[in-house]
């Protein structure tokens, strides 16, 4: 009788260890935008590749549209280990104490994707990601989104048109300075709250790449938009360092491969997705889209130019100079 119960016990232990070994590692990937955006699509791509390459040993759960965490909460959750992957905008690392990422917010610092990718896919980008390590965060990649347009309920054809307007911005001191430079009133707000704030008039306008504007339906509550391309919005894909380092080496290798490939994908689709969204906004007939003339664009550039110098002490003059040099 004793031997029988011992055998039953051993079988039970054996089975549960098999069951444990078969239990997939769950990676929660939280983000704040819609699934049908460059970041949303790239997150789904990573999920598909990660699950395929690890043969199901890893299960990636993607939570889009702030369904798991909002902007500020997601950073805290990552540090606590409650979520394993995020891709916050580069404009949202200041509150974490990593001010250098705000260099990406400097108005007109990048001429286009080519100049930008020299930084994100080069040595400067790697040095920037390394700044996350002391915070217990590992930076895995940069994912593109796109260049921002201003929107509001009245036309914005010159910098003076922004004067006195309450403009929603992300939590970046550079963006705050950018708006103050043209005497508008910057309001930091979580992405999930922007649509309602625009609808109810809590803020008058905002700035975003077209894919974000369109998928959040902001164009339905913004009568005017100007294709200023005055700044860049993109992402750092980040993980909890302890979690990543603690993964079995073979699993980590496969996940790294999935990340490299989904980064290529993200950066391939970003421009096209934003162009498609712009056309969709146009087709909706709800927002008048203004393409600035060369003179109008030059006026915005001139108005925002002092922001670079003013933000030197926050971001670091050397970093700003290295970007001018790499992209110039």
Question: Footprint of ligand LMR on this chain (CB under 6 A)?
Answer: 32-33, 89, 145, 170, 191, 208, 212, 233
- In the numeric block, the tokens 């949303």 are attached to 40
Which residue, 58 or 137, is less far from ligand LMR as judged by CB?
137
CB of 32 to ligand LMR, least distance (A): 5
Q: How far apart are CA 304 and CA 180, in angstroms?
A: 10
SS (H, E, C) the chain: CHHHHHHHHHHHHHHHHHHHHHCCEEEEEECCCCCCCHHHHHHHHHHHHHHHHCCCCEEEEEECCCCCCCHHHHHHHHHHCCCCEECCEHHHCHHHCCHHHHHHHCCCCCCCHHHHHHHHCCHHHHHHHHCCHHHCEEEEEEEEEEECEEEECCCCCCHHHHCCCEEEECCCHHHHHHHHHCCCEEEECCHHHHHHHHHHCCCCEEEECHHHHHHCCHHHHCCEEECCCCCEEEEEEEEEHHHHHCCCHHHHHHHHHHHHHHHHHHHHHHHHHHHHHHHHHHHHCCCEEECCCHHHHHHHHHHHCHHHHHCHHHHCHHHHHHHHHHHC
Residue nearest to ligand LMR as judged by C-beta position: 89
Which residue, 170 or 226, is less far from ligand LMR as judged by CB?
170
CB of 327 to ligand LMR, least distance (A): 22
CB of 37 to ligand LMR, least distance (A): 7
Which residue, 40 or 292, is less far from ligand LMR as judged by CB?
40
CB of 151 to ligand LMR, least distance (A): 12
Which residue, 116 or 233, is less far from ligand LMR as judged by CB?
233
CB of 132 to ligand LMR, least distance (A): 17
CB of 107 to ligand LMR, least distance (A): 16
Q: Given the DSSP bridges, would you call strands 166-169 and 149-152 parallel, antiparallel or unpaired? A: unpaired
CB of 250 to ligand LMR, least distance (A): 32
Q: For residue 85, what are the β-bridge partners?
A: 29, 239
Which residue, 58 or 132, is less far from ligand LMR as judged by CB?
132
Which residue, 51 or 144, is less far from ligand LMR as judged by CB?
144
Q: Given the DSSP bridges, would you call strands 137-147 and 232-240 parallel, antiparallel or unpaired? A: antiparallel
Which residue, 168 or 241, is less far from ligand LMR as judged by CB?
168
CB of 11 to ligand LMR, least distance (A): 50
Which residue, 41 or 247, is less far from ligand LMR as judged by CB?
41
């Amino acid at each position: 009788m004793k031997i029988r119960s011992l055998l039953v016990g051993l079988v039970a232990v054996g089975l549960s260890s098999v069951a444990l070994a078969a239990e997939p590692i769950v990676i929660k990937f939280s983000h704040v935008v819609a699934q049908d955006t460059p970041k949303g699509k790239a997150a789904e791509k990573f999920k598909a590749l990660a699950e395929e390459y690890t043969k199901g040993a890893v299960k990636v759960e993607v939570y889009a549209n702030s369904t798991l965490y909002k902007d500020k909460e997601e950073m805290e959750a990552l540090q606590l280990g409650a979520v394993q992957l995020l891709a916050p905008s580069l404009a949202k690392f200041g509150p974490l104490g990593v001010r250098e990422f705000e260099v990406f917010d400097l108005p007109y610092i990048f001429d286009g994707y080519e100049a930008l990718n020299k930084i994100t896919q080069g040595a400067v980008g790697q040095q920037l990601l390394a700044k996350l390590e002391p915070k217990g965060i590992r930076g895995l990649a940069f994912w593109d989104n796109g260049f921002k347009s201003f929107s509001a309920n009245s036309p914005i054809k010159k910098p003076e048109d922004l004067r006195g307007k309450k403009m929603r911005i992300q939590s970046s001191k550079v963006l705050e300075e950018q708006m103050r430079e043209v005497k508008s009133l910057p309001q930091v707000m979580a992405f999930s709250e922007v649509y309602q704030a625009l609808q109810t008039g809590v803020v008058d306008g905002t700035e975003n790449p077209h894919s974000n504007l369109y998928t959040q339906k902001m164009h339905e509550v913004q009568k005017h938009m100007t294709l200023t391309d005055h700044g860049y919005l993109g992402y750092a894909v980040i993980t909890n360092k302890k979690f990543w380092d603690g993964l079995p080496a073979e699993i980590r290798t496969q996940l790294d491969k999935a990340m490299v490939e989904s980064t290529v994908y993200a950066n391939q689709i970003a421009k096209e997705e934003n162009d498609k969204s712009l056309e969709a906004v146009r087709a909706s007939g709800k927002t008048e889209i203004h393409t600035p003339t060369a003179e109008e664009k030059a006026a915005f550039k001139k108005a925002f130019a002092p922001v670079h110098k003013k933000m030197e002490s926050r971001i670091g003059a050397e970093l700003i100079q290295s970007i001018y040099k790499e992209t110039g």
